[in-house]
A = this chain, B = another copy of it.
Amino acid sequence: MQISAAALARMIDATIDGDPEVIITGPARIEEAGSGQITFLANPAYEHHLYETKATAVLVSRDFQPRKPISPTLLRVDNVYETVSGLLQVYQQDEAAQTVRQVSQHAAVDATARLGERVRIGKFTVVSEKAFIGAGTVVLDQVFIGPNVRIGNNCTIYPGARILRDCVVGNNCILHANVVIGADGFGFLPDGEGNNQKVPQVGNVVLEDEVEIGSNTTVDRATMGSTVIRRGVKLDNLIQIGHNVEIGRNTVIAAQAGVAGSTKIGANCRIGGQVGFAGHLTIADGTNIQAQSGIARHIKEPGQALAGSPAFGYRDWIKSSIVFSRLPELYKRVAQLEKILEK
């Protein structure tokens, strides 16, 4: 890319402070940007970088007032993050297009599978019996798509993802490398002699539209019925979703969280990393849960912020945690009081 600051400003509806004729060749982070690059300042905590950056241009908000002289050209926009996101999309090479241009001759596509228009399939990928893949979907290399799996339009499935029999993926979904969708749920019944008898898992997993699932995350199939990930849900890496779980619309879950079987998480929740949910719970819409918390009860009131294991109100947990670090002192003080009163 080679574009002048003036031309770029017209594209993104920016006003310019500084030289409009400088040429921009690509994006970079403000700490790392060099000559020719454009970067951005959205978080005031990083403002000091602005006075040292070697970037040629910087995106800032309309009302930003530098406190010192600066050398790069400033492009002022209404919403810096949104503009950056849009610019990056221009830059991001279509990896799918780059690496998979057709149905590879090294793929194994069953004769009974059906592929929509413009579907591309990578090398050593398996598409099993009666699977269906919608128009425009790109399946990269070494992916497994099981029997009767149904995938929507315009999805991207990265190398090593496994989508097992009967599972359903909506439109515009992104499944990252080595994701496992539809492995058996973890269900056993004691046989009375100390052994654990496997409960067959005959349900499936349903991912609705616009779902993104991070690498090495596992979503187990339902014992019966479906494990359901609703529209717009984003799951980070290494997350465990148990059988018959339901994750509500637009909920976002950070890495290494785990949800035990049959728990239903509401819409628009934000779940921190390494959080754990017990099974058979219902969690209200808009719940925010701090990283590493443990949820062992129903959450009925929407919009709460929770923390701790077992979790309670976030602000109260902060206070309790502060006292926790002073417990030895508190213990001594109680002993001291007892001594005084014994006298």
Contact = CB atoms under 8 A, between A and B. Distances in A.
A100 B176 CA distance: 25
A288 interface: no
A255 B224 contact: no
A322 to B, nearest CB: 8
A319 B312 contact: no
A232 interface: yes
Nearest to A320: B327
A196 interface: yes
A113 interface: no
B232 A258 contact: no
A152 interface: no
Contacts of A99: 128-129, 146-147, 165
Contacts of A273: 240, 258, 260, 276
5 contacts: A93-B165, A124-B126, A174-B198, A194-B249, A216-B216
Ordered nearest first, which 9 A-B pairs have the shortest CB separation? A323-B327, A88-B200, A92-B200, A183-B215, A144-B159, A180-B215, A240-B255, A29-B225, A162-B177
Interface of A: 27-29, 31-32, 39, 81-82, 84-85, 88-89, 91-93, 95, 98-99, 106, 108, 122-124, 126, 128-129, 140-142, 144, 146-147, 158-160, 162, 164-165, 174, 176-178, 180, 183-184, 186, 188-189, 194-202, 210, 212, 214-216, 218, 220, 222-225, 232, 234, 236-238, 240, 242, 244, 249-250, 252, 254-256, 258, 260, 268, 273-274, 276, 278, 291-292, 294, 296, 308-310, 312, 316-317, 319-328, 330-331, 333-334, 337-338, 340-341
